[in-house]
Amino acid sequence: MLRNYFKIAWRNLTRNKAFSAINILGLAIGIAACVLILQYVTFELSYDDFHDKGNRIYRVLQDRYDKGKLSTQWAGGAQAAGNSFKAAFGEVEDYVKVLKRRTLIADYGEKSLKVEHVFIASESFFKIFSYPLLAGNAATVLSEPNTVVLSESVAKRLFGNENPMGKTIKFNQRQAVKVAGVYKDMPANTHLHADLLIPHLTYIQEMGKDNNPDNAWMWDGAMSYLLLRSDANPKALEAKFVPYIQKTIGAELKKYDADAIYKLQPLRDIHLYSHFMEEAEPNGDGKTAYLLLGIAFFIVVIAWVNYINLATARAINRAKEVGVRKAVGSLRGQLIRQFMTESVLLNGISVVLALLLVAVSIPTFNQLSGQQLSFSLLGSATFWLPLVGLFVVGAFLSGLYPAFVLSGFQPVAVLKGKVSTTSKGILLRKSLVVFQFAASLFLLVGTLAVYHQIQFMRTQSLGLNIDQTLVINPPIIRTDSTFMRQMVAFKDELLRRPSIRNITASSVVPGQASDWNAGGIRLKGTDESKGTQYRVIAVDYDFLKTFDLKLIAGRDFSKDYGLEKKAVIFNKKAIKQLGFDDPKEAIGKEIDFWGGIFTIVGVTDNFHQQSLRDAYEPLILRLIPDVRGYFSVKMATSDINTTLATVRSEWNHFFPGNPFEYSFLDERFNEQYRADQRFGQVFGLFTALAILVACLGLFGLASFTTAQRTKEIGIRKVLGASVGEIVQMLYREFAVLILVAFVVATPLAWYAVNQWLETYAFRSTIQWWLFALPFALVLLIALLTVSFQSIKAALTNPVKSLRSE
């Protein structure tokens, strides 16, 4: 019997090639798109799920408050947190501290290697986290100062096939350290990627006895992870932090009218829900992941709707088949199984085609999304389980309703030719078409909103000039005693070239968050409780001039006033935070900056140090003439290659041994929008696929509807109707459905876009054309989709139409 079901199903598919092709192609595209998105989301959700003790590992977050208002949220908080909480609370089984360190040069013999992702880690790193060690003991590998633990790839590049254990390497041509261990390269799905680990004891040794970071509650920058006991309650432990902090540093915080609240963040939440100060690396976005999951759902449902629509629309054509089958003794259950078999066969073919589409599109999808999916996923359970699930669910859901409709015909009525399309059936099909295009309109409005916001951010005035600016990364190998002379000579030599207009050095460049967060800054002579937090950028004399920053009060830094090491320039927001409404009133005022007295010599207008996603921050530009930072070279020529060669030559002369690493500031600044751009590209791609799938179904439905109205069209032509009038009549039905879809989708899309824009400090307004353009585009595409069948029917000879059955 089952064999017969499949034989009949295959015959039906091959007899109606056009409808079968539309259904198979629509389902294949829908399933392929859904599978790709599921793989993307699955990968995002898999971050840090490989740690054996992962469900007991929590990161300590620090929220800093000034004057009762939240000022900063830290991923890398107070350096004393980990060891102090371990000593104070029995719920904490162990802890580990991790600190980011600057890029370094590692030398071994004649080999020299730049290592970018360098971290300091305390002893329990490999005991708490499940990063496999290839050499060394997890309990002791980070227990000695002046040692290092290398990743497998760094060890390979430095030592080749030589055993690295016990070998000595040099950091930045100064510090000699011994290799104590090698660990397997950290997987892609972890929030922490380290190429090299330095023991925390080395850091303590460098800081000296009087500056032990394990006692430092007011130094930030350490990511502290706690391993809780299996019976510990994280929320209850969090509540205990409050009285402990008040007891430990409450008096110190009170002096500044400040507060610090410590929270526990589950390890697996870090990647998707953490965007705080001092993150180990940029994280993902949970909202984006789940939004893409919603798009996947929309696309595959649209494809299933196509099948239901076309299957029920063709019910009249199969009515006689059902009548004959019932007349010769077929039971309704057998007929249901027959039609469900057709659904299984069609979905099965679609899955095979979807598999081919996924395999072909993986490289393109990776380029668009920034993901690292590979063909190896074809051998993983995380790929096949969703695919099998989509097949089973799709075959059942899409085939169930048509099967019950088709099997429900009464044989007597059918064989007498009294079966007609019911109003309920027509209403269902129209409702499904409205759902398809409402979903398509919703996605299209979202895509346009994303691109509009990105364009808005990229075209707004930043308050500074980043064009024609070459940025050189800070020198890694330095001789402190001669660095100032090297720096001045390098700048002077470049400024002699007509192709160089200006050059400045700074701790960070526009597009970077300042990692110098200074609290307790106040006007000289005021109470310590008046101190507030500011972001500080260390700059030389030429920073304002190089970036064309607008002074609204006071003056720029100048060598005419000597070294001016006690001079600072505030931005407008910082002056407001200090208590001045008029920037001119702040000029000449002295501030207490961590015990040092500095003079405000100028005030700049607010400028965007970071992307327009972030609000203006209170910034202090602090003059440090020999700042060890980035060099920003303002070029006065379009001959970039020649200028680059000149700068490279002088760099190698003045900073020998340092890699010449550069970028262009406008590109570097726009990198902040890369995640938004990728999201827009992925969103746009799947929106286009959703519209394509919906139009495939519309084409099939239009073909069937036109065929059903063949005689009506013939009669209208005989009575004098023109081709244009007939096409207009056929268009009207579908245009009304698109209009209803627009009415349904518009308020939902407006709400979603408005909620999304709320995440940006500077955002575009929601324009009317964001809705009108998608409506016009979808209407045009829909009408073009039905045009072929409509015009063909309108041009048919009425005599031929009236003869048709």
DSSP letter assigned to residue 549: P
Q: What region does 160 belong to: left with phi over 0, alpha with psi -120 to 50, or beta? A: left
Helices (H), 370-410: 381-407
CA neighbor of 307 nearest in space, from 439, 406, 414, 424: 406
Quick one: pLDDT band at residue 803, thresholds 50, 70, 90? low
Q: What is the mean pLDDT of residues 252-269?
A: 91
Extract the tokens encoding 22: 């539309």
Read off the pLDDT of residues 780-795 as tens digits, 9 standing for 90 and up.
888 887 776 667 666 6
Residue 488: exposure state from Cβ atoms within 10 A (0-12, 13-18, ≥19): middle
**What is the C-alpha radius of gyration for the chain, rounded to an integer number of angstroms?**
34
Query: What pLDDT is recorded for position 680?
Result: 85
Residue 215 corresponds to which amino acid?
N
The mean pLDDT of 447-456, rounded to a whole number, is: 90
Q: What is the pLDDT of residues 103-117, one digit of tens each?
A: 999 999 889 999 999
**Which residues, in sequence order, are CB contacts of 350 under 8 Å at separation 6+?**
23, 24, 27, 28, 31, 394
CB atoms within 10 A of CB 482: 11
In this prediction, residues 360-370 reach a mean pLDDT of 81
Element (H, E) at 127: helix 125-128
- Give the integer Cα–Cα distance in Å for 730 and 728: 5
pLDDT digits (tens, 9 = 90+) for 654-666: 998 889 999 999 9
pLDDT at 709 over 70: no
What are the CA-CA distances from residue 374 to residues 44, 232, 408 (Å)?
Answer: 15, 40, 47
Which two three-digit tokens encode residue 777?
């585009």
- Per the DSSP assignment, residues forming a β-bridge with 265 are 59
pLDDT of 750: 95
In the chain, % helix, strand, coil (3-state, to 5) comes to 55, 20, 30
Structure tokens at 587: 């000029």
- 63: tokens are 């929220």
Return the minimum-mean-pLDDT range out of 30-34, 142-146, 312-316, 714-718: 312-316
Percent over 70 (pLDDT), the chain = 85
Instruction: Return all residues near 505 (Cβ < 8 A) that are at least 6 apart.
Output: 487, 491, 539, 540, 627, 629, 630, 631, 632
- Is 328:444 a contact under the CB 8 Å cutoff? no
- What is the per-residue pLDDT across 464-500, written as a single tens digit (0 to 9) for each? 999 999 999 999 876 667 788 889 899 999 999 999 9
Nearest to 484 by CA among 405, 554, 541: 541
pTM of the model: 0.85
Which helix (H) or strand (E) segment is 632 a member of? Answer: strand 630-635
**Cβ atoms of 539 and 504 closer than 8 Å:** yes
CB 686 within 8 A of CB 672: no
Q: Phi, psi (5° rounding) for residue 767?
A: -90, 155
- According to DSSP, residue 165 is labeled T
The predicted pLDDT at position 729 comes to 76
Looking at residue 144, its pLDDT comes to 94
Measured in degrees and rounded to the nearest 5, phi and psi for residue 66 equal -120, 125
In sequence order, which residues have a C-beta less than 8 Å from that of residue 658 and are 6 or more positions away? 105, 475, 476, 477, 651
Average pLDDT estimate for 39-53: 90
Question: Which pLDDT score, from 0 to 100, does residue 128 have?
Answer: 97
